[in-house]
Amino acid sequence: MTHKTPHIITEGGVQYHLGEFRNNEIQYDFEKMLIYLDAKGKLLFGEKFKIHREDRPILYRLCSYFIKDQKRCEKFGIDVDKGILLSGPVGCGKTSLMKLLRYIVPHQRPYEMVPCRNITFSFNHLGYKTIEEFGNTSFFCFDDLGVEPPGRFYGKDCNVMGEVLLSRYDLYLNTKRKIKTHATTNLNARELEERYGNRVRSRMRELFNLVAFDKQSKDKRV
């Protein structure tokens, strides 16, 4: 596979065509993308993985974002320069989808999935260099934002993820919007504001597109 054919992906000896190359651009096909995501999901997470019918609308939005379909994204109120904040109830599949979706765009710079609790644990052990490490120009998806334990280093409390997000917001402003930050969360907007404060919450609005599962989404882990 070359970057000239990023819509053709080979997994386990099978070639998946996510669309066609026409008029000097890739015309993606959502149904073909779902076939690939289902196959890749089974490779990553096991044979029990499946794309649930009720998740198709949210997947359509996310796929439109990742392939940078400007027209569809505008229709959904999504800014392709911002990251994704994927929210929803526990067990609805947020983490799996964010781990999976990066594979449909192999020509784009990948992001690393990092649990927020690991960042806080690192801070508690190493201190403020952890905030520098994650407030850099790498691409990250911060998993389970808002439920990480408190940060404390040498007797001083720190809202670690709040500081990381502020650092990444500054980078986002000063690098012509090239820095991508994604996150998953079980919390709603009010709960996030309670957790991080109004200043961080307002920065999050500029960093992220909010894409939300239905509050009634079932727990797929049971």
Q: CATH code at 201? A: 3.40.50.300
Looking at residue 222, what is its pLDDT? 55
pLDDT digits (tens, 9 = 90+) for 151-174: 988 888 899 999 999 999 998 888
User: What is the tally of structural domains in the chain?
Assistant: 1
102 assigned to some structural domain:
yes
Which residues span the domain enclosing 71? 8-212
Residue 58 belongs to some domain of the structure: yes
Q: Evaluate whether residue 86 is within a structural domain.
A: yes
In a domain, 12, yes or no: yes
Distance CA 61, CA 69 (A): 10
174 found inside a domain: yes
Flag residues of the chain having pLDDT under 70. Answer: 1-4, 176-177, 222
**What pLDDT score does 116 carry?**
97
In a domain, 219, yes or no: no
C-alpha 205/C-alpha 182 separation (Å) is: 12
What pLDDT sits at residue 114?
97
Task: Say whether 102 sits in a helix, a strand or coil.
Answer: helix
2 in any annotated domain: no
φ, ψ (nearest 5 deg) of residue 87: -115, 155
Q: What is the pLDDT of residue 4?
A: 67
pLDDT in the model for residue 83: 95
Whether 222 maps to a domain, the answer reads: no
- Cα separation, 50 vs 97, whole angstroms: 11
3-state helix, strand, coil in the chain (%, to 5): 45, 20, 35
Rounded Cα gap, residues 137 and 167, in angstroms: 10
Q: What pLDDT was estimated at residue 78?
A: 97
User: What pLDDT is stored for residue 216 in this prediction?
Assistant: 72
Query: How high is the pLDDT of residue 173?
Result: 85
